[in-house]
């Protein structure tokens, strides 16, 4: 992986063992070293002359034959749709379309620069000429831009029904061309259009579409070689556009991987595309809140790298096969990475417990989602420490203090995530679906901590936070029944009940354990296993409601007081909604 400003060894932006076939209209095919269709290359100085001969012959062959392949894949005639079959919602008038495109570039695309503004406007002008571009990639891209703008209008309008209808009509237009796009196109607009659809479905009750479209977009970006730092024959603007497109795919891939616990598409050891520019030439990706400017898109990309680090260091199968004594060091390294990323943000805009923005602003929703994601990552360290770190505490004298300070901070992040719920109702229904899982998982960390440490000083306030989250989920579920929220509402409700019972027993004197949260990071615990009544503290949790099957799987052979015995099942507590988006 190369950081911004680095280049690959040969100096032209791509290694000599890979090649890119490019057509005149911008379509591309990338072939890596293992494909067999790339120039032989030797790093040995003695072979340099021979390598040059091979490379020259290869380039001559590819140049002579490139024109024979238009990079538009063959599909059977019976599977080819006519243009009119793509149309469900007619396009608006030129005047309306121009206004909608302007709105998109002033809002969503300013924070997440998916499309190049001048390119889209040129194609839009052509769309209303005698010779419109009929490619599926442009059709998908145009319609998803219109859909985003109609969605924002729906949020801003008291009578939004017509805007919602138009919004989803254009989404359907885009979806009508997806299969043809997958089978035929490999241009940049194809990747951008699929990413646009993925980002749209990020704010809906069905995240399955997000998962599939994001994965497809990453694969399409690989087909074009966007994961490689190929700058040959490209202008500075084209280079930055390719770089941005790749990093949006990377950001989605990292976010999905961590939050649902599935392997990412992009291998961390097999890309060298530099980070987005620190000072973008067109100022895209720069947002301003409360008079403070920040390169939001660069922060997103850098945070995606932190997310990937957490997943690789703490949650992969390979981690399970390592000695558990390594886990505290990995947790602390991940914690430092989170803190360093946070410190790179202007202080008033950093994730914090009492985050307050006075003036309402469109870009607030983007920053708050980033805060939610940060708190989610930090709060998840709680379960890793609680359930895997106990073994290292028993084998390392200094590990206890380190793990306890992490637990304290992770619980603070969980509380912060729940406190951000007050902003959600101000930002529209699609925003609820975009961030819903963050406070839900935060409430899990708080509930589990109460169940283990019934008497800690924040237990009552934490239980209120869990209850607030359950009320929020219940409200969402009542307005949109039959989605995965019904499932996580059941899980969180059961955990709330179990935590409430544990707290009641703690207050009546059945438990004497002290939370590390009480001691502000200093380990004052005393043989927890001798104080925690496993039967009493988990009986309700294991026997009640829809969470019982998961709970039985995780705890049936566990001594809840001896946390290290739970280490083999620690991943369940990291995310009890492991595949929640698949349940609808």
pLDDT tens digits, 462-489: 999 999 999 999 999 999 998 889 999 9
**pLDDT attached to residue 91:** 97
The residue count of the chain comes to 584
How distant, in Å, are the alpha carbons of 4, 41, 183, 219 from that of 215? 24, 31, 15, 6
Q: What are phi and psi of 264, to 5 degrees?
A: -75, 165
Q: 493 vs 403, which has greater pLDDT?
A: 493
When mean pLDDT is compared over 52-61, 155-164, 222-231, 554-563, the highest value belongs to: 222-231
- Higher-confidence position of 426 and 94: 94
Q: What is the pLDDT of residue 189?
A: 96
Spatial distance between the Cα atoms of 184 and 187, rounded to a whole number of angstroms: 10
Tokens 């809140």 label which residue? 289
In this prediction, residue 518 has a pLDDT band, given cuts at 50, 70 and 90, of: low
Q: Which residue has the higher pLDDT, 101 or 9?
A: 101
DSSP 273-304: PPPPPSS-TT-TTEEEETTEEEEHHHHHHHHH
Position 257 confidence tier, pLDDT thresholds 50, 70, 90: very high
Look at residue 513 in the predicted model and tell me its pLDDT: 53
Question: Which one is predicted more confidently, 458 or 356?
Answer: 458
Residue 445 predicted with pLDDT over 70: yes
Q: How far is the C-alpha of 288 from the C-alpha of 474, rounded, in Å?
A: 34
Cβ atoms of residues 513 and 453 within 8 Å: yes
Instruction: Answer yes or no: is pLDDT of 186 > 90.
Output: no
- Burial grade of 480 (CB within 10 A; 0-12, 13-18, 19 or more): middle
CB distance 477 to 429 below 8 Å: no
Q: Is the pLDDT of residue 533 over 70?
A: no
Q: What is the mean pLDDT of residues 526-533?
A: 33
Token pair 């057509």 is at which residue?
A: 23
Answer whether residue 299 shows pLDDT above 90. Answer: yes
- Asked whether the beta carbons of 4 and 278 are under 8 A apart, the reply is yes
Paired tokens of 143: 């319609």
Which of 61-75, 149-163, 248-262, 380-394 shows the lowest per-residue confidence on average (mean pLDDT)?
61-75
Q: Taking Cα atoms as reference points, which of 195, 254, 196 lies closest to residue 221?
A: 195
Residue 577, pLDDT score: 38
Banded model confidence at residue 106, pLDDT cuts 50, 70, 90: very high
Q: What mean pLDDT comes out for the span 419-430? A: 84
Would the pLDDT of 39 be above 90? no
Q: What percent of the chain has pLDDT over 70?
A: 69
pLDDT reading at 511 higher than 50: no
- Please tell me which of 85-89, 170-174, 359-363 the model is most confident about, judged by mean pLDDT: 170-174
Instruction: Write out pLDDT tens, residues 318-341.
Output: 887 776 557 888 899 999 999 999
Q: What is the mean pLDDT of the chain?
A: 79
Q: Containing H/E element for 29?
A: strand 28-31
Who wins on pLDDT, 582 or 255? 255
CB 538 within 8 Å of CB 451: yes
Report residue 517's pLDDT band, with 50, 70 and 90 as the boundaries: low
More confident residue, 365 or 8: 365
Average pLDDT over residues 20-43: 61
Average pLDDT over residues 435-441: 93
Residues 31-52, mean pLDDT to the nearest whole number: 56
Average pLDDT on 68-77 reads 57
For range 135-142, the mean pLDDT: 95
pLDDT at 95: 98
Q: Provide mean pLDDT across the span 409-432.
A: 89
- Please indicate whether residue 397 or residue 466 has the higher confidence score (pLDDT): 466
- Report the 10 Å Cβ neighbour count for 31: 18
Question: Model confidence at 147, in pLDDT bands (50, 70, 90)?
Answer: very high
Tokens of 446: 């708080």
pTM of the predicted protein model:
0.81
Instruction: Compute the average pLDDT of residues 300-329.
Output: 87
Instruction: Give the mean model confidence (pLDDT) for residues 495-519.
Output: 74
DSSP 3-state assignment of 37? coil
Looking at residue 152, what is its pLDDT?
A: 94
pLDDT of residue 46: 46
The whole-angstrom separation of Cα 192 and Cα 249 is 9
What is the β-pairing status of strands 292-295 and 28-31? unpaired
Give pLDDT, residue 553. 33
């Amino acid at each position: 992986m190369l950081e911004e400003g680095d280049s690959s060894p040969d100096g032209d932006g791509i290694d000599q063992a890979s090649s890119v076939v490019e057509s005149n209209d911008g379509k591309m095919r990338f072939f890596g070293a293992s494909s067999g269709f790339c120039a032989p290359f030797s790093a040995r100085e003695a072979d340099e002359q021979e390598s040059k001969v091979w490379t020259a012959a290869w380039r001559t062959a590819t140049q002579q034959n490139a024109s024979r392949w238009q990079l538009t894949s063959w599909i059977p005639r019976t599977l080819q749709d006519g243009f009119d079959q793509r149309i469900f919602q007619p396009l608006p008038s030129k005047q309306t379309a121009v206004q909608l495109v302007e709105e998109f570039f002033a809002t969503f695309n300013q924070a997440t620069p998916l499309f190049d503004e001048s390119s889209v406007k040129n194609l839009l002008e052509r769309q209303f000429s005698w010779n419109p571009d009929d490619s599926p990639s442009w059709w998908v891209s145009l319609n998803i831009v219109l859909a985003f703008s109609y969605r924002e209008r729906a949020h801003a309008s008291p009578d939004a029904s017509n805007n919602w209808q138009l919004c989803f009509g254009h989404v359907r237009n885009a979806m009508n061309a997806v299969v043809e796009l997958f089978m035929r196109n490999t241009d940049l607009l194809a990747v951008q259009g699929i990413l646009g659809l993925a980002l749209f479905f990020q704010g809906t009750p069905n995240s399955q579409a997000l998962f599939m479209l994001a994965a497809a977009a990453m694969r399409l970006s690989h087909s074009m070689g966007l994961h490689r730092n190929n700058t040959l024959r490209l202008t500075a603007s084209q280079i930055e556009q390719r770089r941005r497109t790749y990093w949006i795919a990377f950001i989605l891939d990292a976010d999905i991987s961590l939050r649902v616990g599935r392997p990412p598409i992009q291998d961390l050891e097999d890309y060298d595309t530099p980070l987005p520019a620190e000072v973008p030439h067109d100022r895209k990706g720069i947002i301003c809140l409360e008079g403070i400017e920040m390169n939001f898109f660069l922060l997103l990309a850098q945070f995606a790298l932190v997310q990937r680090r957490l997943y690789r260091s703490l949650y992969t199968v390979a981690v399970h096969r390592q000695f558990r004594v390594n886990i505290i060091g990995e947790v602390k390294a991940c914690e430092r990475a989170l803190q360093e990323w946070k410190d790179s943000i202007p202080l008033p805009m950093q994730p914090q417990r009492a985050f307050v923005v006075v003036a309402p602003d469109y870009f607030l929703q983007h920053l708050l989602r980033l805060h939610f994601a940060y708190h989610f990552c930090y709060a998840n360290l709680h379960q890793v420490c609680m359930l895997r770190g106990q073994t290292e505490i028993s084998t390392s004298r200094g590990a206890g203090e380190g793990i306890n300070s992490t637990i304290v901070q992770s619980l603070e992040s969980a509380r912060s995530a729940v406190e951000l719920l007050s902003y959600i109702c101000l930002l529209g229904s699609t925003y609820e679906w975009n961030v819903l899982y963050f406070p839900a998982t935060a409430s899990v960390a708080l509930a589990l901590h109460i169940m283990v440490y019934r008497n800690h000083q924040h237990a009552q306030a934490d239980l209120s936070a869990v209850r607030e989250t359950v009320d929020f989920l219940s409200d969402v579920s009542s307005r949109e029944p039959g989605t995965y929220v019904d499932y996580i509402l059941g899980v969180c409700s059961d955990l709330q009940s179990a935590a409430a019972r544990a707290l009641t027993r703690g207050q009546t004197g059945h438990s004497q354990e002290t939370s590390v949260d009480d001691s502000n990071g200093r380990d004052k615990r005393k043989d927890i296993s001798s104080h925690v009544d496993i039967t009493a503290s988990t009986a309700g949790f294991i026997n009640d409601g829809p969470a019982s099957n998961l709970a039985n799987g995780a705890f049936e052979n566990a001594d809840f007081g001896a946390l290290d015995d739970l280490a083999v099942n620690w991943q369940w507590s990291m995310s009890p909604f492991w595949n929640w988006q698949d349940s609808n």
